[in-house]
Amino acid sequence: MKKNVIIEKQSAVTNNKVPLLFQPISIRGVELPNRVVVAPMCQYHSDDGEPTDWQIMHLGRLAAGGAGLVFGEETAVERRGRKTYACAGLYKKKHVKAYLRLTNLIREQGAVPAIQLGHAGRKASCHTATESWRPLIDQDSQTGYPPWQGLAPSALNQLPRHFLPKEMDRDDIKTVIEAFRVATHRSLDAGYDVIEIHGAHGYLIHQFLSPVSNHRKDSYGGDLAGRMRFALEVAEVVRSACPDRPVFYRISAVDGEGGIWSLPDSISLSQELKSRHIDLIDVSSGGISGGSTMPPVPRIPGYQVGFCERIKRDADVMTIAVGGITKAQQAEDILRASKADLIALARELLWNADWPVHAAHELGIKDPFFMIPNEYAFRLRQREEQKTIPINQGGDKTNAAMRFLLGDNHSSNLIKLKNT
């Protein structure tokens, strides 16, 4: 049963003030019931790109917890654009029906379904995360998982892969951009209300952006404008294919240890994306390493919020803060300080899928159970009501009842209970 997800009256919370985290927000006509986002998390449980029962369990669990916007996982626009054989994809028309099952489930729980479209590029052809993404080798062919050649802006031997990646020619670039267009249309057909372009974490688009991985001499390489060209062309085609709904872009604000792509570069890219009507920048970091003096990003609480704040301010664009955000007040403070417009969580939701409803309780919402399915909420409200009954308060009445029920001094307890 679909739950009521929008706070109708400010009296629902103490001090007559709704926390920003739980105020609705409208982006290009799509209203999110609150500002908690389930970040994309690869699951490695797909069958030739198609989601399985695992995704039903995974996303159903997260959608029932009260988040306003629920992303699935990074979804490849080409079969060769997957990292692993178990990665999600939307490169076949038949995939649409399977994803429609997911979006219906998410929407039934009162959340907005979102998809992240990407291409692994040179990260392709490896095992899954639980095997540390070790590269596929010839012996894997014996179990039905032969290695394949990935694509890249430059054919560089920088990742442990069986094949050197193929340097993309103009036809390859056109083919991948067209794949993003087709996957965008399929995403809409599958019921997604928000589409995000994955331009971070060392995936293909990020590979074009960073001088570490892009050594091209043509108009898709060289200076910042050249290295941004592929990202912007992808953004243009996705925006054109999805004119009426929100399009986000996930960015790595900095490359990572030894990288070159920097925060000022990300601000410039975000400004260009905004000019192409991209609605929001989802600010992450890392994914490409090199030999420079750039340090790794310290994994401290809210470790990417500073990047997010700078991009929001300097590019004048909406942003999502993600990374090391685990506390309700921490999330609320980020929003109140205008450092971000939405708050995304990933691992914390794996630990506690009901984080949003617990956060609502911590921030003073009197009846946070409206955020979860009514089948759960009515039982939890009953439990809260039971706490107010005198016999459940402890003290003489509670003790007398328990002594009676346990058979201690039966007759005297009966008399005492009658006289109270």
Tell me the per-residue pLDDT of 27-53, one tens digit each, with 9 for 90 and over.
Answer: 999 999 999 999 999 999 999 999 999
Domain boundaries, the chain: 10-388, 390-420
d(CA 320, CA 241): 23
Residue among 176, 179, 28 nearest 114 (CA):
28
Is residue 11 scored above 50 in pLDDT? no
Q: What pLDDT, on a 0 to 100 scale, did the predictor assign at position 249? A: 99
- CB distance 78 to 119 below 8 Å: yes
Residue of 203, 220, 303, 376 marked active site: 203
Q: Mean pLDDT throughout 383-403?
A: 93
Q: For residue 8, what pLDDT band results from cuts at 50, 70 and 90? A: very low
Contact, 22 vs 10, CB < 8 A? no
| C-beta of residue 152 within 8 angstroms of C-beta of residue 207 | yes
Q: What is residue 409's predicted lDDT score, i.e. its pLDDT?
A: 58
Encoded tokens for 174:
């056109």
Q: What is the mean pLDDT of residues 237-254?
A: 98
Q: CA–CA separation, 354 vs 181, rounded Å?
A: 35
Beta strands 30-32 and 25-27 are antiparallel
pLDDT (mean) for 389-403:
92
Sole residue written with tokens 């009296």: 11
Q: How far is CA 43 from CA 12, 35, 123, 243, in A?
A: 36, 24, 16, 29
- DSSP for 312-369 reads HHHHT-EEEEESS---HHHHHHHHHTTS-SEEEESHHHHH-TTHHHHHHHHTTBS-GG
pLDDT computed for residue 414 by the predictor = 46
358: exposed, middle or buried (C-beta count within 10 Å: 0-12, 13-18, 19+)?
middle
pTM above 0.75, yes or no: yes
Give pLDDT, residue 410: 52
Measured distance CA(147)–CA(135) in Å, rounded: 8
Q: Is the pLDDT of residue 12 over 70?
A: no
Which whole number is the average pLDDT over 59-88?
98
* Average pLDDT for the chain: 94
pLDDT at 319 over 60: yes
Q: In 3-state terms, what secondary structure has residue 89? A: strand
**Which residues have C-beta within 8 Å of that of residue 8, sequence separation ≥ 6?**
none
- 85 flagged as catalytic: no
Average of pLDDT values for 130-150?
97
Alpha helices in 123-218 (DSSP H): 170-189, 204-209
pLDDT (tens digit, 9 = 90+) per residue, 340-371?
Answer: 999 999 999 999 999 999 999 999 999 999 99
Q: Residue 38: which residues within 8 A CB-CB, separation 6 or more?
A: 62, 63, 67, 69, 70, 71, 111, 344, 345, 346, 349
**Torsion over CA: 269, 275, 278, 280 (sign):** positive
Q: Report the pLDDT averaged over residues 158-177.
A: 97
Looking at residue 411, its pLDDT comes to 46
Residue 192 and residue 235: Cα distance in Å, rounded? Answer: 17
Specify whether the CB–CB gap between 171 and 221 falls below 8 A.
no
Tokens of 31: 């209203």
Q: Given this model, what pLDDT does residue 375 score?
A: 95
**Bridge partner list, 114:** 71, 194
Read off the pLDDT of each residue in 274-279 and give the average, rounded to a whole number. 98
Q: Residue 17: which residues within 8 A CB-CB, separation 6 or more?
A: 10
10-388 to CATH, choices 3.40.50.2000, 3.20.20.70, 3.40.50.300, 1.20.970.10: 3.20.20.70
Nearest alpha-carbon partner for 202 in 161, 251, 146: 251
Query: How high is the pLDDT of residue 17?
Result: 84
Burial of 212 (0-12, 13-18, 19+ CB in 10 A): buried
**Is the predicted pLDDT of residue 415 greater than 50, yes or no?**
no
